[in-house]
Amino acid sequence: MPFSRRFFLFSSSFVVLCVIATFAQSEPSIRRANDAVTTRDADPLVTFVDQQIRQAWEDNEVQPSERADDAEWLRRVSLDIVGHIPTADEIETFLADESETKRADAVNRLLDDPGYVQNWTTVWANLLIGRQTPRLTSRAGMEKFLREAFTKNRPWNEVVYDLLTAEGHYEENGAVNFLLGQLNGNPNREDYTVEATARVTRLFLGTQVQCTQCHNHPFNDWKQEQFWEFDSFLRQMRRVDHRKTDPKTGRRIDDFAELVWKNYEGPVYYERRSGVMEAAYPYYADQQVDPAGTTDRRMELAKVMARDDPDHQVARAMVNRMWGHFFGFGLTRPVDDMGPHNPPSHPDVIDRLTDEFAASGYDLKQLIRWITSTEAYQLTSQFNDKNRIDDPSAGEVPLFSHMYVKPFTAEQLYESLLIATQATAATGNYQEAEERRRQWMREFLLIFGGNEDDEPTLFSGTIPQALMMMNGDLVRAADSGMPGSTLHEVLTDERLRSDPQRIQRLYLSSLGRLPSRREATMSQKLISGSPDKLAAYQDLYWALLNSNEFVMNH
């Protein structure tokens, strides 16, 4: 159906559906929030975290929301772990499961799903080199390194160690792309490694120190000399860009890049705001290394950060970032600016999780199990009159008394649309499907993405965003009813013999839940009142895919 006809025909129904289908049904949840999530064995760490968060509820006279029902919880945990919504079949199977350990079992299944590796590879590739890949930096090489790390569940501190010490060809050793992406310009300039210093401390230490290159930090305890002491560890490297001659044109073109050793010894000299020049030697975490040129400074820094730091700052930074990923807000805000100037909302929680994460061997999957097993993660996103004030988006300290709603990232939206619509199955053979996928992803990232520092989420309300969701290629392909698509399967599946059954299936496929009575009644009226049943189903599914509820993780 043409967009103009659909818009005028269905605009009123779309508005009503979007109002009704927003952040889950209003029927009461099955269990109260203080009913702890059931796992095979009560984990003392999870029990401790629950106690600390409950105490904060009591201290602030806040009553937690009810426990999320199974459909809401499964959709949330799927988005958080594998980066997309569950299929309708997965939802039905989960809802029918009566096991007391079904949620813990679901987390383990998701951690073993190939989508776990794909999702976290994408998340960290974006963090390490950005969505817009820097010139002569290999995203393929970076992703290969990350895929291997997440597939093997390598200890996170060892992953950090490799990223800090990598050398060589950007595809033969994909880890080099992290630092390659931060190095530009003349390697003899004093600011050559400044961006790398700021990115390393932000991502792996959870500390923003970029302003201290010029002056002492006005709030945290980093001083100007500390910035340059840290920076001096990174001075023994430079990127080398190789070019080649194109045999067809005879022109010189980019070939590959590599990270190589650069001879450097002695101190780094920097200028104070008073104009006085100072010297800074490689010094971090109360450890100073020999500044001679024979010392491998990056290796020494990596040893301290990833293996020998008694404060486990790498572990603390990852715990805070992962907590923020699953809850929408970290234990500090932002997650990468920890320090005395920015105390955590629950200091005992981050301290205990940091110690246990380090003791576990920096096991990322175990950290995810702990976080998703907490009582707070089981709560619904619907707040009540006694926890309405728990609103970190308004500047309040997060109490985690209900789940905070998170907008999809561009990648989550794209992958979820594929799951909801089975659109790739309706686009022809494998090669054609892959080409369409790349095309769609370029369009989505162009419109929905941001720069890497924003860790962008979508829907700022721009007209291009609205038009892409309402009438983009992906939604139109999904809504076409072509063989292989969800809509076609719903209309031809012999198990779905009635309109109510088909309507329920479309709700499960898109919103991850069954329709409320009001939604079912209104949808049924739309279908039965239309002379063109296919067009009516197309309008219904189009509305569900364009609803606020679809593009939010709650």
Q: Which of 526, 415, 547, 426 is nearest to 479 (CA)?
A: 426
Model pLDDT, residue 109: 98
Rounded to an integer, what distance in angstroms lies between the CA atom of residue 69 and that of residue 32?
Answer: 10
| Cis, bond preceding 334 (omega within 30 deg of 0) | yes
Q: Among candidates 162, 168, 197, 175, which has minimal Cα distance to 129?
A: 175
CB atoms within 10 A of CB 234: 24
**By three-state DSSP, how is residue 365 classified?**
helix
Could you list the mean pLDDT of each consecutive 10-residue stretch along the chain, which spans 554 residues?
Answer: 38 41 38 41 90 98 98 98 96 97 98 96 94 90 97 98 97 97 88 92 88 53 80 94 92 94 91 83 90 94 95 97 97 91 95 98 98 98 95 94 92 87 58 63 66 48 59 66 82 90 95 96 93 90 89 92
**CA neighbor of 142 nearest in space, from 114, 116, 162, 113:** 162
User: What does the pLDDT read at residue 1?
Assistant: 42
Asked if 82 and 116 touch (Cβ cutoff 8 Å), the reply is yes
Q: How far is CA 181 from CA 88, 134, 311, in A?
A: 40, 6, 29
What is the reported pLDDT for 161?
A: 98
Per-residue pLDDT, 15: 41
Residue 83, pLDDT score: 96
- A 10 A CB-CB count for 31 gives 14
Strand 168-169 relative to strand 252-261: parallel, antiparallel, unpaired? antiparallel
The predicted structure's pLDDT at residue 85 = 97
Q: How far apart are CA 27 and CA 72, in angstroms?
A: 13
**Of 531, 407, 423, 439, the residue nearest 486 (C-alpha):** 423
The three-state secondary structure class of 417 is helix
452 backbone dihedrals φ, ψ, rounded to 5°? -65, -25
